[in-house]
Amino acid sequence: MHLIQPMKKIIILVFSLNTVFGLQAQLSNKLKLSSGPYTPAENLSTYLNRPIVDADEVVAGQYYRLIQFENIPNSEQITHLQEQGLTLLQYIPNKAYLVAMEESFEISSLRDFGVRHIKNI
């Protein structure tokens, strides 16, 4: 009986630490790239002031960007993005995607989807 109380405390402590560290990973904006970690600055407003797409970036009517969201978009948001001309190509931990954008995509609509960072690639 005396061993059960300390074991309960240890189990609760381990569970609590696991939860805290798991939440920190979810809240982090650090991207896990093969070249190493990269923490993108929040830049959507700045980018929207000068959303330049060079002619040589456009391939078959699309151009490509790295986008990080505040939260991972749900299936409804993904469908809405696709309907507007943005396709999520590849997930990049944490909360980022390599995306293809049609030339006709209204870039200012990214505000509606909780985008925090966008980068030319």
Note the pLDDT tens digit of each residue in 96-113. 999 999 999 999 999 999
Structure-block tokens of residue 16: 């609590």
**Does 3.30.70 match the CATH number of domain 31-120?**
yes
Q: What pLDDT score was predicted for residue 23?
A: 42
What are the extents of the domains in the chain? Answer: 31-120
Ranges assigned E (strand) in the chain: 31-33, 36-38, 62-69, 86-92, 96-102, 115-120
List, in order, residues 6 or more apart from 33 with CB less than 8 Å away.
Answer: 92
Residue 22: its pLDDT value, please?
Answer: 42
Q: Please give the Cα distance from 31 to 41 (Å, whole number).
A: 11
DSSP state of 50: S
Q: Which two tokens stand for residue 97?
A: 């995607």
pLDDT in tens, 19-70: 444 444 445 899 988 888 989 999 999 999 988 889 999 999 999 999 999 9
Tell whether the model's pLDDT for residue 9 goes beyond 60: no
Whether 1 has a pLDDT exceeding 60, the answer reads: no
The structure's pTM equals: 0.74
